[in-house]
Amino acid sequence: MISRLPTETTSASVGSAHTGESQDYATRAYEEALALRPSLDAGLAAAFGAIPRADDVRVTVHSVPAEDGHSVELRWHERQDTPVPGSAVVYVHGGSMVAGRLDDYEHLVNHYVHRTGVPFLSVGYRLAPEHQGTVPAADTFAGVRWLFENAERSGVDAARIAVMGDSAGGGIGAGAVLLARDHGLRPAAQILIYPTLDDRTVTPDPTLTEHVVWSYEGNRTAWTALLGTARGTDAVPAAAAPARTTDFSGLPPTYLEVGQLDILRDETLDYARRLYRAGVPCELHVRPSAVHGFDWIDPAAEIAQHAMRDRVRRISSL
């Protein structure tokens, strides 16, 4: 299941014979990703730290072994004042593949649980550049499989489990859904919020560059941190970059959301188009004049509130 790409584990290994990124760039991307992590984590902590505490949500910690034996941390978020509705969501945090912490995302996940009453399982997948290829998606799939296997004990109907993620977490979640399908599990839905799906989104669009919040260069650095010199080549597996999949059959109903001014817009639209062509139900929202992360740049704005209402509606409908 875990795909070993040319640049796994250490910066010294970056730069194999595969074409794609040059050895020098792949090595630099590895180092830049490590340097970028603290600022990304600080930004996420600041954004979500402003969310009001959900004191009615209890969090319990579990773990599950990944395919290679690594212990993946899982956190079960459950509202205490209401019966479990039978549905549940596996949540995959963002952070450009190289950052993001369960502690920082706890406020956001608890907020969704507070608003919907639906319990969430958040997954502490391993990050690039230390862990590359399909490792993040495989870790997330381990969490998905754990919830399916423990559904009855958790008061969950296994037919009503969704996978949800934002930004890098949306792409990693989509990769985990592909793995789940290929292993005979079918989540009820995937809810992908401005997801990173395609490692080839690195060429600037002049109509977007003046509005960019998440940059093309940052996107290239993040994808190269995950894929090394394989980025941009045919060696990239679909579980690592879901836009690479050629088989959309058997995927669950999908909710897709992206900003009009987000560099991830076109890959999100293309993913929706391919889902439609495969006969997969897809609810698509392109938020007018919105950039990447618009909902947490100004959470009080009407467009952010509208987006949150749509997400709450979709989660509640599981």
Q: One of 96, 167, 198, 199 is an active-site residue; which one?
A: 167
Longest Cα separation, the chain:
57
Q: Is 221 helix (H, G, I), strand (E, B) or coil?
A: helix
How many C-beta neighbours within 10 Å does residue 182 have? 14
Query: How far is CA 85 from its chain centroid?
Result: 24
The amino acid that residue 267 corresponds to is E
Q: One of 93, 122, 292, 295 is an active-site residue; which one?
A: 292
Q: Does the active-site annotation cover 262?
A: yes
Q: Does the active-site annotation cover 292?
A: yes
Q: One of 166, 198, 199, 262 is an active-site residue; which one?
A: 262
Q: Which two tokens stand for residue 315?
A: 């989660």
Instruction: Give Cβ neighbours of residue 14 (< 8 Å, ≥ 6 apart).
Output: 6, 7, 23, 26, 27, 30, 228, 229
Q: Does the active-site annotation cover 167?
A: yes
Q: Which two tokens stand for residue 77?
A: 């978020």
CA distances from 73 to 14, 60, 64, 122, 146 (A): 28, 11, 7, 8, 11
Distance CA 103, CA 93 (A): 11
Residue 95 DSSP code: S
Query: How far is CA 46 from its chain centroid?
Result: 19
Distance CA 147, CA 201 (A): 33
Residues noted as catalytic: 167, 262, 292
